[in-house]
Amino acid sequence: MQEAYELAGQPFNLGSPKQIGEIFFTKLGLPIVKKTPSGAPSTDEEVLEKLAEDFPLPAKLLMHRSLSKLKGTYTDKLGQLANPRSGRVHTHYAQAVAVTGRLSSNDPNLQNIPIRTAEGRRVREAFVAPPGHVIASADYSQIELRIMAHISGDESLLRAFTEGIDVHRATAAEVFGTPVDKVSSEQRRYAKVINFGLIYGMSSFGLAKNLGIETKAAASYIDRYFARYPGVKRYMDETRASAKEQGYVETVFGRRLYLPEINSPNGPRRGGAERAAINAPMQGTAADLIKLSMVAVQDVLDTEGRATKMIMQVHDELVFEVPEAEVEWVRTAVPRIMAEVADLKVPLLAEIGFGPNWDKAH
DNA sequence: AGGTTAAGCGCG
DNA sequence: AAAGCGCGCTTAACCT
Distance between the alpha carbon (CA) of A109 and the C1' atom of C14, Å: 27
Measured distance CA(A208)–CA(A233) in Å, rounded: 19
Nucleotide nearest to A16 (CA to C1'): C12
**Is the CB of residue A67 inside 7 Å of nucleic acid strand B?**
no
Task: Report chain C positions within 7 A of protein CB atoms.
Answer: 1-14
Give A269-301 pLDDT, tens digit per residue. 999 999 999 999 999 999 999 999 999 999 999
Task: Report chain B positions within 7 A of protein CB atoms.
Answer: 6-12
Longest alpha-carbon distance in chain A? 70
Measured distance CA(A111)–CA(A164) in Å, rounded: 29
Measured distance CA(A181)–CA(A261) in Å, rounded: 45
Query: Hey, is A95 helix, strand or coil?
Result: coil
* β strands within A39-116, DSSP E: 92-94, 104-106
Q: Report the pLDDT value the prediction gives residue A15, as an integer from 0 to 100.
A: 77
Distance between the alpha carbon (CA) of A206 and the C1' atom of C9, Å: 27
Q: Report the pLDDT value the prediction gives residue A18, as an integer from 0 to 100.
A: 81
Q: Report the pLDDT value the prediction gives residue A3, as an integer from 0 to 100.
A: 52
Nucleotide nearest to A72 (CA to C1'): C10
How far CA A228 is from CA of A172, A180, A189, in Å, comes to 11, 14, 18
Q: Report the pLDDT value the prediction gives residue A22, as an integer from 0 to 100.
A: 83
Query: Hey, is A220 helix, strand or coil?
Result: helix
pTM of the complete model: 0.94
Q: Report the pLDDT value the prediction gives residue A2, as an integer from 0 to 100.
A: 46
3-state secondary structure A232-258: HHHHHHHHHHHHHHHCEEECCCCCEEE
**Is the CB of residue A115 inside 7 Å of nucleic acid strand B?**
yes
A27 alpha carbon, distance to own chain's centre: 38
**Is the CB of residue A268 inside 7 Å of nucleic acid strand C?**
yes
Q: Report the pLDDT value the prediction gives residue A11, as an integer from 0 to 100.
A: 67
- Describe the crossing of helices A204-211 and A185-199 by its angle, rounded to 10 degrees: 140
Distance between the alpha carbon (CA) of A171 and the C1' atom of B8, Å: 33
**Is the CB of residue A206 inside 7 Å of nucleic acid strand C?**
yes
**Is the CB of residue A109 inside 7 Å of nucleic acid strand C?**
yes
Q: Report the pLDDT value the prediction gives residue A6, as an integer from 0 to 100.
A: 62
Give A87-118 pLDDT, tens digit per residue. 999 999 999 999 999 999 999 999 999 999 99
Mean pLDDT (10-residue bins), chain A, 362 residues: 58 77 85 90 94 93 94 94 94 96 96 96 97 98 97 97 96 95 95 94 94 94 96 96 97 97 94 96 98 98 98 97 98 98 98 98 93
Measured distance CA(A341)–CA(A184) in Å, rounded: 35
Taking the stretch 299-318 of protein chain A, residues with Cβ within 7 Å of any atom in nucleic acid chain B are 314-317
Nucleotide nearest to A3 (CA to C1'): C11
Q: Report the pLDDT value the prediction gives residue A1, as an integer from 0 to 100.
A: 47
Q: Report the pLDDT value the prediction gives residue A334, as an integer from 0 to 100.
A: 98
